[in-house]
């Protein structure tokens, strides 16, 4: 060990250099304000657009803060600050579309929302007036049917994967296929349902249940994945505790594992519903649309909110303005439904979550 | 829905009809059909009519297969692919009824800085859409518009990106009047090599022209909205796309020869030099059977009533008002009416 | 009520991996038997083979004989589910069912087997078991509260109550105190002392002092080397193991020279 | 055991039956999923086969199905790849903010906001892209065409906002939350002991991320990108509503003449299709299915391989 | 070279939770100081406050004074990154960087500061550090192989080599042997003996025998009750703590009466 001592480079200034010059904690904010100020000033003088001002301010910040840091704190700290600034910038950038989208949907959609809009269909309506009741009901019915198909299959399949298959070949294959299935384009799911029902009922078939089947193709993998993750999170100890009490496996699954995982499963299912409730392409293909309320998913076209939005925007004609207004209104309703489901998913997850007490 | 029952048109007398009628076909008729459905259901509150705009081809296919009791189609039946024979078979061996019910001018809509009025000769139109005339201040355009302040800007020519009866009629016109410039013939799908912006559906073209700069496109005149529309050169004059000017073309066009009595179809005379005729016109037909029997009796009865409404004065006027189509001339209307009234239902 | 267990020539596998080799011993009824040994020597594995919990792990299997009350545990005609009702188990980390109240947790073994019972009968079992686990006075006013709301030591006693509620004959405990604070540990050790008048108790512990305090017999497991199977080095009365062990490696382990 | 009780055999039989019925149901559900996926492939193949001999009028005026599908496939890949070029750096940045930069109290709402991006239905993105983004971005394209026109991508002329680049931006916004979610997970899974090892050696936060988080997360990020790619390839409505498609093959991203994508093309033409044209469209859907299957396959495979290594 | 550490009135928090309260002691240079105590009493927490690794945990903070070499560690002008270079740390579970080779692992800390290092210089540091960690002979022929390919004990020594490669003055070790087999443990203990001639070493261990074997001074931490903060009960020469402790609870803990 004395070797170590000898080869050590000659005396450092202090034995233990712990202190390093630092720029103040408020430096990033100060830099941001300065950059913004300079850019705004230049923008005012040179007549830049707002976008240009923001871009220049950002560029100043990204260059300026690390430069300041490099001068005082050294290169390593400067790099750290550069990356920090860039990382936060990406977040800000990602928020622009969300903010714009939220603003536009509310701005363009709120005016038309009324009780008439929510309770009338489009039968006999040419210009203004009418509503989305038929589309709302269609979306609810088809989504409910898809849920009724997907949840039992998805949950049972997840139970197979976690509780029975555990790593065997079939389970691995299914896990893999489920993963791949998550990536099926929604339009392909629609084509599948179309091809399937065309072969059964002949050409030109359009009905709600076809849409439910197509949506199930999209929904099942989400349900399986969510349930699988939740079941995996149930500690092995709980299963063992139950087995050790002499409880058979299936009762252990039903009475101990599923209740413990219920919160997560409900959350996952709700998120899956939210995801498919906004699907358009498969419904366009296999459900079509209509102006009249149709509550029978086994007979004839049904309107749904997403397809209503699409066709309102793309039909055009004399009443384009009215149709577009209805489309934004329907979009607001659809976004509200989907967001509510998302919030609900989280709330439900909390309500059902096992009471940890402490 | 609360509004199903509050239609005020139910004046009792005419509405002993009940049931639902599902047909479809050419999307060009969609707006007019939507209007007709509203009008018809008003006086027949217990009838539900749906018109699926599945396209002319789909309409013919479903008509032949029996899925639709009647269909709308931008093209009449021919035996190029055996459709006429098949349709005859479908109608129990009788030749199907083919009648024009929707005549609509195809407007050239434009959005050019500082230009409100535009005259275009057939060759110029072909040159623009074929991608040969690329700037607004090109001499060909300037010649027709000596007083316009044409900008020195590129032309953004907008066409339909989907398969379209409008495209077919428009290119048919170009093919006939300017065949040496427009070399692609009459086609339903726009040929890529001619370039330009592709837009989905008539509304897509209209909104692309509206939101683009220095754009021009072709669209059913009823959808032009507040966009400027060009006058098209016919003979020595330039004619705008009004319903009257469009309706006139059927008066000057010959019937297609060699069709039976139940078929009233036209070979449009795009090269007409008749005054006041707007030549770029889309004509859409209704296909139906002369008699409906057995299972189809109810659908036949409803179809007959509905078709009668469509070609009635009331129906044609309502279509003109709501969808901008040109009402049939009196002469043509009475001819068509007798065909529809002759439909038998057992 | 309680029962002795005879083990002979027991080999325990995880798939192809032989984890424990050639164990033989007799566990006396109404006594506390402790297993000690360095980590990985197979104490838990062996314990779990005594109520057929071992086979819950995919690929796990057992060779040799475990005889309880004259019946061979691994006989094909024996139902493992029934075995586990007769031979209860308490785990290292307290694991009450998180979705159930204290009351339901105690009854879990009965209820999960869909036994229908009268309220009075159920109340009776709950009180009896909780008293048996020395937990009654602490929780009797909040039986409807979630079992997870208890402290670690209370949770562990709840698990013991749950295990004895189905009236097993043997109670296996795998390091029942290792996740607990000293005070809770003392409470559990007291409880073990009391329970031994009714049950045959087998306990695994990494704490030699605990083994010395609570057990009547002690088994010392060891590994010859990493990757080799664990084996039983010595099985003797606790007093002998801790004062005068037969095997020098036992002596070395107990005096803290390794592990 | 006391002499009165022996292992009871009556309840045994009952519980065994329950066990096997339940296990059967579970296995059945698993098999059904395999069947469903096989069904998707089989039905698409059956309905797609007649398209192979389609030509001329039936193939939308193209000589054969290959000539028809190829430009669509090109457009699909082009839009998806551009979308990923935009989304991936953003997603990695946002994921890092959530996993390593934001204080915990802020990280959760940030994650939620990003998740909201994924919750917006694609038709609403379409509406937004068409009505808001396209007109807003046209001046940017004009600027690009003027200043960077020498690059083939920005050749222009910029006459409409509804270009393939706009569509790709919308796709990027839609793929961003997916990529972010996965990246965030893998970043968070970086073993704490490795992160602390780096910090204890005197690494700054960025150095710690480069030393431990990125190497650990590499395969996860790649598979996240592949999954984002899958989403971008298959997205239908947003593209259908935003893009002005001419259907040609070009890398000029901001002109009025744009390639179309398979999914959007199907959505736009299906309603009007009849006869063999339906088969032609389904065939193009089959091509899309195969491509996105391959991409997902690759993504999962990379992810799975990464796990073995970690 | 090595340095002593003076701690006074140190309170350590996780958010609002006071985990360790009022600790004061002086850790001598070139000696081994061991911390023992029951689980959860704050040994790790305290150790991590000595090189400002504590604040890596969100919400964690420290009150009081830690003075190293005359400088207060928690002074605002002090750069935590510099502190951690001077006060190295070895963790409970060996944590070599999985994507790096043995060679790169050793140099990981050095590379941070001086990107460009001559090959000869780097080779020199690697050999010196691996020799220092008693690992050189075992790995010198496979320096390019991944660090994860070593056995647990070798990995732990690799981590020690990595820590001493940046030439710190103090080496903190948190239960460095608890994940290791007895043979590896012995190797590490030998190494600690050797290292103490150059470094100030602080080690946390749950194994009292180990504390007795390796340390010069021993600190005993305890909890008054669960949920209460941990505190330093006694800090004395190891020989005194193990033979004749000042505090009765130290005695009780060491003799295995709890924990
Ligand atoms: N599920 C399993 N699959 C494969 N091997 C296992 C499994 N569980 C334990 N083992 C192996 O079996 C051997 C014995 O493990 P066991 O858990 O029984 O040891 P132990 O004495 O209880 O140790 P500890 O004191 O750490 O709990 C070890 O080598 C272990 O790696
Ligand atoms: N990240 C954390 N956040 C909040 N509390 C923590 C955290 N880490 C530890 N604690 C709490 O601080 C207290 C001291 O924990 P610490 O890990 O320092 O104990 P220890 O003596 O090292 O125990 P062990 O011997 O089990 O390692 C405990 O009450 C623990 O729950
Ligand atoms: Mg164990
Ligand atoms: Mg610790
Ligand atoms: O009427 P279109 O066929 O042009 O849509």
Q: pLDDT for C6-22, tens place per residue?
A: 999 999 999 888 999 99
pLDDT at A227: 92
Nearest to B197 among D240, D256, D260 (CB): D256
The answer to whether residue E60 scores a pLDDT higher than 80 is yes
Is A358 within the bounds of a domain? no
User: What residues flank ion ligand 4 with Cβ within 5 A?
Assistant: E 44
Nearest to D200 among E88, E96, E98 (CB): E88
Residues belonging to chain D:
310
**Based on the domain organization, do A225 and A135 belong to the same domain?**
yes
Measured distance CA(D172)–CA(D152) in Å, rounded: 21
pLDDT > 90: what percent of chain D? 38
The answer to whether residue B162 scores a pLDDT higher than 90 is no
Q: Ligand 1 atom 6: the closest Cα is on which residue?
A: C14
> Distances from the Cα of E150 to the Cαs of D37, E143, E228, in angstroms?
44, 11, 41
Instruction: Answer for the pair D98, D107: CB distance below 8 angstroms, yes or no.
Output: yes
Predicted-assembly ipTM surpassing the 0.90 threshold: no
| Cα C40 to averaged position of ligand 1 atoms, centre (Å) | 5
Nearest alpha-carbon partner for C68 in A29, D309, D5 = D5
**Based on the domain organization, do A59 and A141 belong to the same domain?**
no
| Mean pLDDT for chain A overall | 86
The answer to whether residue D309 scores a pLDDT higher than 80 is no
- Is the CB of residue B165 below 6 angstroms from any atom belonging to ligand 5? yes
Which token pair is A1? Answer: 């060990």
**Based on the domain organization, do A86 and A140 belong to the same domain?**
no
> Nearest chain C Cα to A260, which residue?
C99
> Nearest chain E Cα to D100, which residue?
E58
Instruction: Answer for the pair C7, C23: CB distance below 8 angstroms, yes or no.
Output: yes
pLDDT at A205: 80
Which of A109, A129, A147 represents a domain boundary (last residue)? A109
Q: E9 to chain C, minimum CA–CA distance in Å?
A: 26
| Cα E45 to averaged position of ligand 2 atoms, centre (Å) | 6
Q: In the beta sheet, which residues pair with residue C232?
A: C221
C258 touches chain E (CB under 8 A): yes
A3 touches chain E (CB under 8 A): yes
Instruction: Calculate the CA D180 to chain-centre distance.
Output: 12
pLDDT classification of B127: cutoffs 50, 70, 90:
very high
Is A13 within the bounds of a domain? yes
Q: Helices (H) and strands (E) in chain E — how many of each?
A: 10, 10
Instruction: Give the residue, out of E10, E12, E14, E231, with the most ligand 2 atoms within 8 A of its beta carbon, to mutate for a pocket test.
Output: E14
Pseudo-torsion of CA E141, E145, E148, E151, nearest 10°?
-20
pLDDT at C102: 93
**Based on the domain organization, do A173 and A27 belong to the same domain?**
no
pLDDT at B15: 63
Nearest alpha-carbon partner for A226 in A266, A173, A260 = A266
Instruction: Answer for the pair D131, A101: CB distance below 8 angstroms, yes or no.
Output: no
Whether residue E128 and residue A3 make contact (CB cut-off 8 A), yes or no, is: yes
Q: A99 to chain E, minimum CA–CA distance in Å?
A: 29
Give chain C's radius of gyration (CA, Å).
18
Q: B304 to chain A, minimum CA–CA distance in Å?
A: 20
Specify the higher pLDDT residue, D246 or B2. Answer: D246
Best residue of A185, A202, A275, A315 to probe chain D, by most D CBs closer than 10 Å: A185
Atom number of ligand 1 nearest to Cα C92: 27
The answer to whether residue E259 scores a pLDDT higher than 60 is no
Atom number of ligand 5 nearest to Cα B27: 1
Instruction: Give the residue, out of E12, E15, E19, E23, with the most ligand 2 atoms within 8 A of its beta carbon, to mutate for a pocket test.
Output: E19
Domain that holds residue A271: 119-352
pLDDT classification of E257: cutoffs 50, 70, 90:
low
pLDDT classification of C103: cutoffs 50, 70, 90:
very high
Measured distance CA(D107)–CA(D91) in Å, rounded: 14
Instruction: Answer for the pair B315, B36: CB distance below 8 angstroms, yes or no.
Output: yes
Q: A87 to chain E, minimum CA–CA distance in Å?
A: 19
Q: Which residues in chain D have their CB less than 8 angstroms from residue C1's CB?
A: 2
Nearest to D269 among B62, B162, B208 (CB): B162
pLDDT in tens, B217-239: 999 888 888 889 999 998 888 99
pLDDT at D13: 43
**Based on the domain organization, do A129 and A269 belong to the same domain?**
yes
Which token pair is E210? Answer: 């180990």
Which of A109, A141, A174 represents a domain boundary (last residue)? A109
Ligand nearest to the CA of C181: 2
The answer to whether residue D12 scores a pLDDT higher than 60 is no
The answer to whether residue E111 scores a pLDDT higher than 50 is yes
Average pLDDT over every residue of B322-333: 86
- Specify the pTM: 0.85
**Based on the domain organization, do A145 and A289 belong to the same domain?**
yes
Which token pair is C181? Answer: 């604070």
Least confident of A144-158, A239-253, B4-18, D237-251: B4-18
Chains B and E touching, counted as 3 or more CB pairs less than 8 Å apart: no
Which token pair is D220? Answer: 């996860």
DSSP summary character for residue E202:
E
| Cα C155 to averaged position of ligand 1 atoms, centre (Å) | 25
Measured distance CA(E77)–CA(C26) in Å, rounded: 67
Whether residue D7 and residue C79 make contact (CB cut-off 8 A), yes or no, is: yes
Which token pair is A266? Answer: 């409900």
pLDDT at B126: 93
Residues whose CB is less than 8 angstroms from the CB of residue A294 and which lie 6 or more positions away in sequence, other chains included? A134, A138, A208, A300, A301, A302, A303
Question: Other CB atoms closer than 10 Å to residue B190's CB: what's the count?
Answer: 24
- Starting at the edge strand found earlier in the chain, the sheet holding B119-120 runs B119-120, B231-234, B237-239
Which helix (H) or strand (E) element contains residue C197? none
B42 touches chain A (CB under 8 A): yes
pLDDT in tens, D64-93: 888 899 999 999 999 999 999 999 999 999
Instruction: Answer for the pair B231, B238: CB distance below 8 angstroms, yes or no.
Output: yes
- Is the CB of residue C77 below 6 angstroms from any atom belonging to ligand 1? no
pLDDT in tens, C137-164: 888 898 998 888 787 788 888 999 999 8
Domains delineated in chain C: 5-254 (3.40.50.300)
Average pLDDT over every residue of B252-276: 85
Q: A275 to chain D, minimum CA–CA distance in Å?
A: 6
Which token pair is A253? Answer: 């699954």
The two most distant CA atoms of chain E are separated, in Å, by 57
pLDDT in tens, A160-186: 999 998 878 999 899 888 888 888 899
Average pLDDT over every residue of E165-179: 87
**Based on the domain organization, do A7 and A141 belong to the same domain?**
no
Partner chains of D (3+ C-beta pairs under 8 Å): A, B, C, E
Whether residue A220 and residue D114 make contact (CB cut-off 8 A), yes or no, is: no
DSSP string over C210-241: HHHHH-SEEEEEEESSTTSPEEEEEEEEHHHH
pLDDT in tens, E201-244: 999 987 788 899 999 999 999 988 767 889 999 999 999 999 89
- Is the CB of residue C191 below 6 angstroms from any atom belonging to ligand 1? no
Q: What is the CATH number of the domain that holds A215?
A: 1.10.3720.10
Domains delineated in chain D: 67-309 (1.10.3720.10)
Is A305 within the bounds of a domain? yes
**Based on the domain organization, do A47 and A137 belong to the same domain?**
no
Instruction: Answer for the pair A66, A81: CB distance below 8 angstroms, yes or no.
Output: yes
pLDDT at B14: 52
Average pLDDT over every residue of B91-99: 91
pLDDT in tens, B283-300: 899 999 999 988 888 889
- Residue A346 buriedness (CB in 10 A; 0-12 / 13-18 / 19+): middle
Nearest to A97 among D126, D173, D292 (CB): D173
Nearest alpha-carbon partner for B144 in B29, B267, B79, B231 = B231
Q: Ligand 2 atom 11: the closest Cα is on which residue?
A: E19
E47 touches chain D (CB under 8 A): no
pLDDT at C256: 65
The count of C-alpha atoms lying within 13 angstroms of the C-alpha of E43, restricted to the half-sphere facing its C-beta, is 26
Measured distance CA(B346)–CA(A132) in Å, rounded: 39
E91 touches chain D (CB under 8 A): yes
**Based on the domain organization, do A135 and A160 belong to the same domain?**
yes
Instruction: Answer for the pair E218, E227: CB distance below 8 angstroms, yes or no.
Output: no
Instruction: Answer for the pair A318, B223: CB distance below 8 angstroms, yes or no.
Output: yes
> Nearest chain A Cα to B33, which residue?
A126
- Is the CB of residue B27 below 6 angstroms from any atom belonging to ligand 5? yes
SS3 A245: coil
Average pLDDT over every residue of E176-180: 76
pLDDT classification of A348: cutoffs 50, 70, 90:
confident
Least confident of A69-78, C57-66, C250-259, D96-105: C250-259
pLDDT at A7: 42
Q: At what angle do helices A133-159 and A208-233 cross, to 10 degrees?
A: 40
pLDDT > 70: what percent of chain E? 95
Pairing label, strands B228-229, B97-111: antiparallel
Q: Is B185 left (phi over 0), alpha (psi -120 to 50) or beta?
A: left
Measured distance CA(B61)–CA(A198) in Å, rounded: 15
pLDDT in tens, A186-198: 999 999 999 899 8
Q: Kindly provide the residue ranges of all beta strands, DSSP E only, lying in E180-257, ordered along the sequence.
A: 200-204, 217-223, 230-237
Provide the domain count of chain A: 2
Measured distance CA(D137)–CA(D123) in Å, rounded: 20
Nearest alpha-carbon partner for E11 in E25, E22, E27, E3 = E22
The answer to whether residue D14 scores a pLDDT higher than 60 is no
- Is the CB of residue B303 below 6 angstroms from any atom belonging to ligand 5? no
In this structure, is the dihedral angle defined by the CA atoms of residues D157, D159, D163 and D165, taken in order, positive or negative? positive
**Based on the domain organization, do A164 and A238 belong to the same domain?**
yes
Q: Which residues in chain A have their CB less than 8 angstroms from residue C148's CB?
A: 354-358
- Starting at the edge strand found earlier in the chain, the sheet holding C170-174 runs C71-72, C60-68, C5-14, C17-27, C230-237, C217-223, C32-36, C200-204, C170-174, C87-90
- Is the CB of residue C43 below 6 angstroms from any atom belonging to ligand 1? yes
Which of A109, A128, A162 represents a domain boundary (last residue)? A109
The answer to whether residue B106 scores a pLDDT higher than 80 is yes
Q: Which residues in chain D have their CB less than 8 angstroms from residue B287's CB?
A: none
Q: Which residues in chain A have their CB less than 8 angstroms from residue D114's CB?
A: 94
Instruction: Answer for the pair D219, D82: CB distance below 8 angstroms, yes or no.
Output: no
The answer to whether residue C202 scores a pLDDT higher than 90 is yes
Specify the higher pLDDT residue, B330 or D262. Answer: D262
Specify the higher pLDDT residue, E115 or A157. Answer: A157
**Based on the domain organization, do A95 and A194 belong to the same domain?**
no
The answer to whether residue A12 scores a pLDDT higher than 50 is no
Measured distance CA(C255)–CA(C242) in Å, rounded: 9
Whether residue C82 and residue D8 make contact (CB cut-off 8 A), yes or no, is: yes
Is A357 within the bounds of a domain? no
pLDDT classification of E2: cutoffs 50, 70, 90:
low
**Based on the domain organization, do A89 and A154 belong to the same domain?**
no
Instruction: Calculate the CA B40 to chain-centre distance.
Output: 20
E107 touches chain D (CB under 8 A): no
Pseudo-torsion of CA D95, D101, D102, D107, nearest 10°?
30
pLDDT at A72: 85
Specify the higher pLDDT residue, A124 or C46. Answer: C46
> Distances from the Cα of C49 to the Cαs of A165, C20, C60, in angstroms?
23, 10, 10
D258 touches chain B (CB under 8 A): yes
E38 touches chain C (CB under 8 A): yes
Which residue bears the tokens 């049904």? A302
SS3 D251: coil
pLDDT at A16: 67
The count of C-alpha atoms lying within 13 angstroms of the C-alpha of E9, restricted to the half-sphere facing its C-beta, is 3
Measured distance CA(E65)–CA(A254) in Å, rounded: 55
pLDDT in tens, D121-164: 999 999 999 889 998 998 889 888 888 888 888 887 888 889 99
| Cα E174 to averaged position of ligand 4 atoms, centre (Å) | 7
> Nearest chain A Cα to E168, which residue?
A16
Backbone angles phi, psi at C221, to 5 degrees: -100, 150
The count of C-alpha atoms lying within 13 angstroms of the C-alpha of A40, restricted to the half-sphere facing its C-beta, is 6
Q: D14 to chain C, minimum CA–CA distance in Å?
A: 11
Q: Report the Cα–Cα distance between both ends of chain E, in Å, rounded.
A: 37
The answer to whether residue C133 scores a pLDDT higher than 60 is yes
Instruction: Answer for the pair B300, B97: CB distance below 8 angstroms, yes or no.
Output: no
pLDDT classification of B58: cutoffs 50, 70, 90:
confident
Instruction: Give the residue, out of B25, B72, B160, B324, with the most ligand 5 atoms within 8 A of its beta carbon, to mutate for a pocket test.
Output: B160
Whether residue D199 and residue E98 make contact (CB cut-off 8 A), yes or no, is: no
DSSP summary character for residue B325:
P
Instruction: Answer for the pair B19, B2: CB distance below 8 angstroms, yes or no.
Output: no
| Cα B202 to averaged position of ligand 5 atoms, centre (Å) | 7
């Amino acid at each position: 060990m004395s070797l170590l001592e000898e080869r050590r480079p000659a005396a450092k200034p202090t034995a233990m250099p712990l202190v390093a010059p630092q720029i103040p904690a408020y430096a990033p904010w100060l830099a941001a304000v300065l950059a913004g100020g300079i850019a705004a000033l230049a923008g005012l003088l040179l007549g830049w657009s707002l976008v240009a001002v923001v871009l220049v301010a950002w560029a100043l910040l990204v260059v300026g803060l690390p430069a300041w840091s490099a001068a005082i704190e050294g290169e390593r700290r400067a790099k750290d600050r550069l990356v920090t600034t860039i990382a936060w910038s990406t977040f800000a950038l990602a928020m622009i579309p969300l903010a714009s989208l939220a603003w536009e949907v509310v701005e363009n959609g709120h005016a038309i929302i009324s009780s008439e809009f929510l309770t009338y269909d489009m039968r006999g309506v040419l210009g203004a007036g009418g509503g989305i009741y038929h589309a709302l009901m269609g979306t609810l019915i088809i989504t409910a049917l898809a849920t009724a198909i997907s949840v039992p299959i998805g949950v049972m399949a997840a139970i197979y994967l976690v509780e029975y298959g555990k790593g065997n070949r079939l389970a691995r294959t299914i896990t893999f296929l489920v993963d791949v299935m998550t990536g099926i384009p929604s339009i392909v799911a629609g084509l599948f349902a179309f091809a399937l029902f065309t072969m059964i009922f002949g050409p030109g078939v359009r009905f709600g249940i076809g849409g439910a089947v197509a949506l199930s193709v999209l929904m099942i993998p989400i349900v399986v994945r969510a349930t699988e993750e939740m079941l995996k999170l149930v500690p092995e100890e709980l299963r063992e505790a139950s087995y050790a009490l002499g409880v058979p496996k299936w009762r252990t699954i039903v009475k101990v594992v599923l209740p413990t995982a219920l919160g997560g499963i409900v959350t996952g299912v709700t998120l899956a519903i939210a995801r498919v409730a906004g699907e358009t392409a498969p419904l366009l293909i296999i459900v079509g649309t209509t102006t009249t309320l149709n509550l029978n998913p086994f007979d004839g076209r049904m309107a749904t909110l997403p397809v209503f939005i699409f066709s309102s925007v793309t039909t055009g004609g004399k009443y384009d303005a009215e149709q577009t207004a209805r489309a934004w209104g329907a979009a607001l309703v659809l976004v509200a439904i989907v967001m509510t489901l998302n919030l609900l998913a989280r709330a439900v997850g909390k309500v059902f979550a096992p009471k940890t007490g402490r | 829905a609360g509004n199903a029952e509050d239609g005020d048109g139910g004046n009792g007398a005419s509405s002993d009809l009940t049931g639902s009628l599902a047909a479809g076909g050419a999307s060009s008729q969609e707006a007019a059909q939507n209007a007709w459905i509203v009008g018809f259901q008003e006086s027949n509150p217990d009838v539900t009519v749906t018109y699926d705009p599945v396209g002319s081809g789909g309409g013919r296919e479903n008509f032949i297969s029996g899925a639709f009791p009647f269909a709308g189609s931008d093209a009449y039946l021919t035996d190029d692919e055996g459709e006429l024979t098949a349709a005859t078979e479908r109608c129990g061996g009788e030749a199907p009824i083919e009648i024009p019910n929707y005549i609509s001018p195809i407007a050239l809509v434009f959005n050019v800085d500082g230009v409100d009025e535009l005259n275009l000769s057939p060759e110029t139109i072909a040159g623009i859409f074929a991608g040969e005339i690329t700037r607004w201040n090109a001499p060909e355009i300037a010649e027709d518009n000596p007083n316009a302040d044409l900008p020195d800007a590129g032309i953004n020519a907008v066409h339909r990106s989907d398969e379209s009866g409008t495209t077919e009629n428009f290119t048919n016109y170009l093919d006939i009047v300017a065949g040496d410039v427009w070399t692609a013939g009459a086609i339903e799908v726009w040929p890529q090599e001619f370039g330009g912006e592709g837009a989905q559906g008539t509304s897509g073209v209209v909104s692309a022209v509206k939101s683009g700069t220095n754009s021009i496109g072709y669209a059913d005149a009823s959808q032009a909205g507040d966009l400027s529309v060009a006058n098209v050169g016919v003979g020595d004059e330039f004619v705008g796309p009004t319903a009257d000017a469009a309706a006139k073309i059927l008066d000057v066009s010959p019937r297609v020869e060699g069709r039976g009595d139940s078929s009233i179809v036209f070979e449009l005379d795009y090269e007409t030099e008749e005054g006041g005729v707007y030549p770029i016109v889309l004509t859409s037909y209704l296909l139906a059977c002369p008699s409906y029997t057995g299972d189809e009796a109810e659908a036949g009865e409803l179809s007959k009533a509905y078709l009668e409404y469509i070609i009635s004065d009331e129906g044609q006027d309502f279509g003109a008002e709501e969808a901008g189509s040109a009402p049939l001339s009196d002469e043509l209307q009475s001819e068509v009416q007798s065909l529809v009234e002759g439909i038998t239902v057992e | 009520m309680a029962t002795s267990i005879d083990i002979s020539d027991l080999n325990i596998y995880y798939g192809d991996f032989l984890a424990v080799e050639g164990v033989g011993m007799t566990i006396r009824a109404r006594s506390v038997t402790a297993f000690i040994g360095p980590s990985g020597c197979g104490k838990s594995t062996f314990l779990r083979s005594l109520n057929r919990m071992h086979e819950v792990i995919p690929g796990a299997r057992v060779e040799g004989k475990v005889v309880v009350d004259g019946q061979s545990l691994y006989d094909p005609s024996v139902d493992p589910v029934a075995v586990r009702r007769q031979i209860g188990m308490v785990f290292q980390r307290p694991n009450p069912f998180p979705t159930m109240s204290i009351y339901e947790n105690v009854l879990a073994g009965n209820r999960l087997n869909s036994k229908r019972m009268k309220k009075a009968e159920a109340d009776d079992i709950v009180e009896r078991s909780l008293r048996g686990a020395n937990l009654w006075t602490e929780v009797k006013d909040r039986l409807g509260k979630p079992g997870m709301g208890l402290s670690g030591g209370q949770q562990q006693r709840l698990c013991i109550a749950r295990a004895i509620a189905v009236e097993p004959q043997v109670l296996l405990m795998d390091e029942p105190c290792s996740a607990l604070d000293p005070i809770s540990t003392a409470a559990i050790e007291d409880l073990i002392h009391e329970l031994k008048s009714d049950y045959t108790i087998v306990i695994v512990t990494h704490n030699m002092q605990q083994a010395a305090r609570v057990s009547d017999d002690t088994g010392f497991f060891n590994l010859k080397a990493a990757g080799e199977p664990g084996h039983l080095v010595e099985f003797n009365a606790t007093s002998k193991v801790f004062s005068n062990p037969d095997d020098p490696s036992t002596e070395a382990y107990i005096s803290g020279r390794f592990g | 055991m006391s002499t009165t009780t022996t292992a009871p055999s009556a309840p045994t039989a009952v519980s065994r039956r329950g066990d096997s019925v339940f296990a059967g149901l579970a296995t059945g559900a698993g098999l059904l999923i395999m069947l469903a996926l096989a069904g998707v492939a089989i039905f698409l193949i059956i309905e797609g086969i007649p398209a192979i001999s389609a030509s001329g009028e039936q193939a939308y005026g193209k000589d054969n199905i290959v000539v028809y599908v190829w430009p669509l496939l090109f457009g699909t890949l082009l839009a998806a790849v551009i979308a990923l070029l935009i989304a991936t750096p953003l997603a990695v940045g946002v994921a890092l903010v959530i996993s390593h930069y934001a204080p915990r109290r802020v990280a959760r709402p940030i994650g939620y906001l990003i998740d909201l991006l994924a919750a917006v239905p694609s038709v609403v993105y379409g509406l937004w892209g068409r009505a808001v983004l396209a007109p807003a971005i046209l001046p940017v394209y004009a600027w690009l065409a003027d200043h960077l026109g020498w690059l083939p991508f920005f050749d222009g002329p910029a006459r409409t906002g509804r270009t393939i680049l706009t569509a790709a931006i919308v796709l990027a916004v839609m793929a961003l939350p997916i990529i972010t979610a996965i990246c965030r997970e893998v970043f968070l899974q970086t073993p704490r002991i490795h992160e602390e090892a780096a910090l204890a050696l005197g690494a700054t936060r960025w150095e710690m991320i480069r030393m431990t988080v990125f190497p650990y997360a590499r395969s996860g990020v790649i598979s996240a990108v592949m999954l984002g790619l899958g989403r971008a390839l298959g997205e239908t409505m947003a593209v259908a509503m935003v893009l002005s498609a001419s259907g040609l093959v070009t890398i000029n991203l901001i002109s009025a003449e744009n390639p179309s994508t398979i999914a959007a093309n199907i959505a736009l033409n299906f309603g009007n299709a009849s006869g063999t044209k339906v088969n032609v469209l389904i065939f193009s859907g089959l091509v899309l299915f195969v491509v996105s299957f391959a991409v997902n396959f690759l993504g999962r495979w990379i992810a799975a391989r990464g796990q073995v290594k970690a």
